[in-house]
Chain A
Amino acid sequence: MHGLCIGLLYQKWCTIIDGDFMKKLIPLLIILTVIGIIAVIIISMAKDKQPVTILKNNIEMKALPLKVNFTNDPYCKMLITTERNSVQVVSPDGDTWFFDDPGCMILWIQEKSFRDNAKIWIHAIDTKRWIDARKAWYGIADQTEMHYGFGAREKKVEGTIDFKEMELRMLRGENLANPKIRKKLLGE
């Protein structure tokens, strides 16, 4: 019964389609539909200007240029407004995430399976270039975006700590965001 109905409907459709009027109308409808499809795709591609959260295919695990004011930190969700002290993590399959503060990166990467294999770049505040975050030296009372206080330097200076120590302090909560530590370090 259903098959018969569908058959009859299809026959009716074919009769309409075969009519002279429809023969002229269908190419017009096809053109309009194609224009509609192209318009939707073009509009979408033009509007695809939302902030970057993840970049793909960085297989060489290089430091990528950071689009300032156009990239979100996946941990604190803040827009990254400066290159200074920002971090990027590249997973072995080429996915790259950006962070506004090394503290955010430490908290975010803990639960990732690629934690030990990821390449981590940090924008040094002294030499102002991307360096290996694991080899950087960190101040403990610097001005940083999320106020954790760990500012990365390429060259070791007095009072700086290494990556492992910075990671440990971050996980223990021993950073400037902790009022007790802040008071101790800055006297505030």
Chain B
Amino acid sequence: MNEALFSNQVIVFLLGESILFALLLVAFVVTLKVLVKWDFESFTPFQFALERQSYLVSTIILFVFILKFILVAYFIFSIDTLASLLPGAMCGAGVIKANDYGSYLLILKFFILFLLTLWLYVHFYDMRTKNHQWFKHKSWLFGLIFLFIVLELALNYAYFTNIDTHMPVSCCAALFGQLEGANPLPFGLSVPLLLVLFYLLYTLLILTLQSGYTILYVIANILFVFIAYYAVVYFFGTYIYQLPTHKCPFCMLQPEYYYVGYLLWGSLFMGSYIGLSDAVSMMWLGKKEMRSQKLVVVLLSIFVLLCTAYVSGYYIRNGVLL
């Protein structure tokens, strides 16, 4: 058995994931039963029992889904602490690349978080209607999410049980820094053009937020997250580390940088998830939430201002850019 499995963080994480999965499994079975036998026109005691069960199940799912957001942050924290066990790893970047499952697991977790945000939206719309108008939509969406969560649990175990603590892994400098002259940026962008694109996409996002061009807003949102990732790793991150050669999305999650990565990535992904969920529920259910638009503006603005503040702060202090 590998040493990674004896780490406190990994034990807590896997135990937490397993308990939440057990709760979701119960919820999934009950949801299937309710979905098959649901008839809102009926006034039988059985239907009333189903409605009570569906309320209970929704509450369980809501509770689990909120905890899943915390667990993703804890997962990132756990892999970051595992860096001390793996030879060569300096942060979570090396740990996540310790085997073939890590990257897929991380991507899957982020995708599941988007689906969870969408489910929360549908749930809140559903709870506001007297006749549970969106109950079936919500339940089918939960069914889909549950399938992804099964895959995620399997990947969690596959990932943590296959970390070889005796095998050296690459550190972030090798993964993101030493590219032997190759341009890592998409579309052949240079760093100045990447920054132009970053701010243009942010402007487009804010402009399309209230304009009603939902498709354009969705495209801008996805493209912004994509470009923002590269902008943080290959430009803004170097100002967080105050080192032009240090390019890593994980090191900023460490205490040396005041855990700013959690705020940075958290505001970007939450802003994007809320915006996308709002847009998808608009296209799917015809519902739009004004408060979430406000939240998207706040979260994405925090992200952009924080990135910009690091660069401008460095320039003010030193009179030069990196």
Contacts and interface: CB of A to CB of B under 8 A. Distances in A.
Contact of A41 (B179, B197, B203, B208): B197
B197 A30 contact: no
Given A54-B182, A72-B181, A74-B181, A26 B207 contact: yes
B298 interface: yes
Interface residues of B toward A: which range? 20 to 34
A47 B211 CA distance: 34
Contact of A53 (B180, B187, B297): B180
Interface in A28-68: 29-30, 33-34, 36-37, 40-41, 43-45, 47-48, 50-51, 53-54
12 contacts: A26-B211, A40-B193, A40-B197, A44-B189, A45-B188, A47-B188, A48-B183, A48-B188, A53-B181, A53-B182, A54-B182, A74-B180
Contact of B297 (A10, A36, A45): A10
Nearest to A51: B181
Contacts of B180: 53-54, 74, 97
Contacts of B223: 37
A70 to B, nearest CB: 13
B8 interface: no
A14 interface: yes
Interface of B: 179-183, 187-190, 193, 196-197, 200-201, 203-204, 207-208, 210-211, 213, 216, 223, 294, 297-298
A36 B294 CA distance: 25
A109 interface: no
B187 A41 contact: yes
Interface residues of A toward B: which range? 20 to 34
B298 A40 contact: no
Contacts of B181: 51, 53-54, 72, 74, 77
A124 to B, nearest CB: 26
Contacts of A47: 188, 190
Contacts, number: 69
Contacts of A74: 180-181
Contact of A29 (B179, B193, B196, B207): B207
A10 B296 CA distance: 11
B169 to A, nearest CB: 11
Given A10-B294, A72-B181, A43 B193 contact: yes
Given A44-B190, A47-B188, A33 B210 contact: no
B302 to A, nearest CB: 10
Interface string A139-157: 0000000000000000000
A6 interface: yes
Contacts of A19: none
Contacts of B207: 26, 29-30, 33
A10 B201 CA distance: 20
Given A44-B187, A97-B180, 10 more contacts: A13-B297, A14-B210, A30-B207, A37-B197, A44-B193, A47-B188, A53-B182, A54-B179, A54-B182, A72-B181
A30 B188 contact: no
Interface in A4-38: 6-7, 10, 13-14, 17, 26-27, 29-30, 33-34, 36-37
Contacts of B297: 10, 13
Contact of A37 (B183, B201, B210, B211): B201
A51 B210 CA distance: 44
Contact of A6 (B179, B193, B210, B298): B298
Given A26-B211, A27-B211, A54-B182, A40 B200 contact: yes
B262 to A, nearest CB: 19
A158 B171 CA distance: 47
Contacts of A43: 193
Nearest to A75: B180
